[in-house]
Structure 1
Amino acid sequence: MALDHAATTGAIADVAATPADRMKPVRLWLYAVAAMIVLMVVVGGATRLTESGLSITEWQPVTGALPPLSEEAWQSEFEKYRQIPQYQQINRGMSLEQFKYIFWWEWGHRLLGRLIGFVFLLPFLFFLWRGLIDRALGVKLGGLFVLGGLQGAVGWWMVASGLVNRVEVSQYRLATHLTLACLILAATVAVAVSLKPLAARQAVPQWLRGYSRLLLGIVVLQIFLGGLVAGLDAGLTYTTWPLMDGHMVPPVQNLLLLQPAWRNFFENALTVQFDHRLVAYLLLALAIGNWLSARRVHGAVAKRALLILALVCTQAFLGIVTLINQVPIDIALAHQFGATIVLIAATVNVVRIHQSA
């Protein structure tokens, strides 16, 4: 009788230990990594807004984890900063205490990047050892780790652009750094969400699956354009809405002022900000269309579409408030945080819709 009871209990335990349940620790770990990446993006935004990104003039992946620990070490770091154009042309006369303020922002940003690497790698190795990660998942997660390492190199590539002949980093490199961070975030979320099967499948039209991918792609494009706006300080110019420089659509000769014409889309503050506005309107229209279409499907698909629409509306509002108030750091960081939340929602939507296929 006791044996029968034990066997029954074991059978129940085996049924309860479904693959989805077994993968819960992996999912939670990936969600934690994703949260840290969101924090990294926000801290990166603060580093940019406080003009702190060039305060550390060397890339030391290992020894750089320690901050200056003596007065001599602080003076050495400060002296290195004094050699670059940003100090000589903008911050000449800065005190050591003022330097420490910008130094701590950049050091914290780099330290957080290192912590993300450890938080990713150590559990990854543990889950491999426990057999929770199969070959296919291992390849995906290994790819994410490689991308994380690449992101560190891209970050230094960005910083290096501002150490010679410039007082700030290249907007091309800044936008690349931000976009790669967000792609890593989206990929991390996508893998985590895919590890939990849908409780119930819904019939989703094929075209709505394509629409979800389009929506996600436009979100990524808008983030890239936001990086260009930040890199050019374009948010500090043309700070009215809905008019821009007194026009709904600025004169073409001003939008295409630079030659060759393609440079305007990356180097002309007017054109870059105008593009960012246009894509915001496009994203809002797509979110509305997604919601109207998803209402026909009902259920979770419709709920996700409504959430995405609400998030996009909130993000648009934050963008406008950031602009007309000339980029106050608190609202600007809320806007950057909002971009990551919209990206996460759009990513979850794509994964869940394709799981319904």
Structure 2
Amino acid sequence: MKSKRPINTDPKVAYWLLFTASMIFSIIIIGGLTRLTESGLSITEWKPITGAIPPITQEDWEEEFNKYKNSPEFKQLNSHMNLDDFKFIFYYEWGHRLLGRAIGVVFVLPMFYLLMNKKYTSYRVNKRLFAMAGLLGLQGFIGWWMVKSGLDEDELVDRKSKPTVSQYRLTTHLTTAFVLYLGILYTSWEILRENKWLKDPKKAVELLKVLENPQLKKLRGISRLVLFFAFVTAMSGGMVAGLDAGLIYNTFPKMGETWFPSSGELFNNHYLHTQDDAKTDLVWRNMLENPTTVQLIHRCMATATFSLIMMTQFYVLKMKKQGIVPRYLSKTMHGVAGLAVAQVALGISTLIYIVPISLASMHQCGAILLLTWCALFNFKIGKGRPIIRQGLVMMEKKNLNLFK
């Protein structure tokens, strides 16, 4: 029916989504730099519209600087700052927020057009676009919720923390960004793959026969596990960043003179809050708020993820020799393994050189690239939507185009 939307989405939509994903990639890196330069608390108000314009006149700058002077960060850590120093950290945070606004415009305006126009997108893609728009809006709110945690003096006292954002809120902010990024990538990849398959149904059916091999079922499950471990490791890195846990125990593989810190250091009553019960809250408080314990968890997660990737690489090579895994899948897995090696090297270097900004930023970039490649491998080993698979078989048998 002409009134109905197409089953497959126009590839132009995928290119737009990939451009949006590249912007999200950039804002994650810039967000990391904002954290590393300790610029995130320089803007003490949330003005989604008017905040897009920075201070222009000298009076505007003085007014903004005076607002910052009332913040806990200035009073406790940066009272030595002058206006020029303030401008440096202000522009980092302002640029981060401005890029966030730009992503909102680049995503939301075309989305409304696609939702109203029935030519380009399927119902399936429209649902995803709507969900991702909601997540994008939520991300802006989470960003301010995170910043606010570093401006609230009572909360800082309760956390026994210097003026910095809550590691919980920072990791929530990072998690939402990664979920949005992966959601956009998966949607764009699916659109491009389906259009590629529909152009050559015969070749697509041959590929589907390979992917439907029962012996690939186990590898499909492993690929999901690899993606999960890479994601959780990246989020544990967010906890490390939130607590500045990379600034302690700057040795590897040992932590100081021993392989593991003492139990008294890993589970210390100092990290209990006022209303906590030492019997029930000691373990989880230290696992999430003790920099030593958080760094140890990140090391363990990184080691587990690296080991899993290497084992998967050897398993894929074995299956390729048996003719089960196609060449394009093994090449993608090689990319995952190569990025894992690079990421481990960057992580160790960042630690032993006591978190220089350049290495730390590259380490974060490596985390996104590794996660991207894990997601790509997981996607490529997937069989696609049943309706597309069934349609391709019919098209190949009867020489029809069912998806016009």
Corresponding position: 1:224 with 2:235: yes
Structure 2 counterpart of 1:283: 305
In the alignment, the residues of structure 1 paired with residue 76 and residue 302 of structure 2 have an alpha-carbon distance, to the nearest angstrom, of 35
Is 1:354 aligned to 2:376, yes or no?
A: no
1:292 aligns with 2:279: no
The letter of the residue matching 1:173 is: R
* Matches for 1:60-99 after TM superposition, within 5 Å: 60-99=47-86
How much does 1:125 deviate? 2.8
Q: Does 1:274 align with 2:296?
A: yes
Match status 1:326 vs 2:345: no
SS at match of 1:39: helix
Verify: 1:37 aligned to 2:24, yes or no. Answer: yes
Match of 1:183? Answer: 179
CA RMSD of superposed structures (Å): 1.7
Alignment TM-score, normalising by the size of structure 2: 0.81
**Structure 2 contact 7–122 (Cα < 8 Å) conserved:** no
2:10 alignment counterpart = 23
SS at match of 2:382: helix
Partner of 2:149: 161
2:366 is matched with 338
The alpha-carbon deviation at position 122 of structure 1 amounts to 2.2
Q: Deviations over 1:25-79 (max 9, x none)?
A: 1111111111111100000001001110000001111111111121111111111
Partner SS, residue 51 of structure 1 = coil
| 2-structure distance, mates of 1:94, 1:251 | 39
2:136 is aligned to: 148
- Map residues 188-207 of structure 1 onto 2, 5 A cutoff: 188-195=184-191, 196-197=193-194, 200-201=207-208, 202-203=210-211, 205-207=216-218
Instruction: Return the letter of the residue paired with 2:375.
Output: T
Q: Alignment length, in residue pairs?
A: 339
Give the unaligned 5+ runs of structure 1.
1-17
Q: Which moved more, 1:242-251 or 1:72-81?
A: 242-251
The Cα shift of 1:298 comes to: 3.8
Measured in 1, the distance between the counterparts of 2:361 and 2:80 equals 28
Percent identity at matched positions?
41
User: 2:331 corresponds to which residue?
Assistant: 303
Query: Quick one: distance in 1 between partners of 2:266 and 2:381?
Result: 39
Aligned AA (2:285): R
Query: Distance between the aligned counterparts of 1:181 and 1:265, measured in 2?
Result: 23
1:106 to 77, 93, 108: 93
Distance 1:90 1:152 in 2: 27
Q: CA deviation at 1:264?
A: 1.1
1:312 aligns with 2:331: no
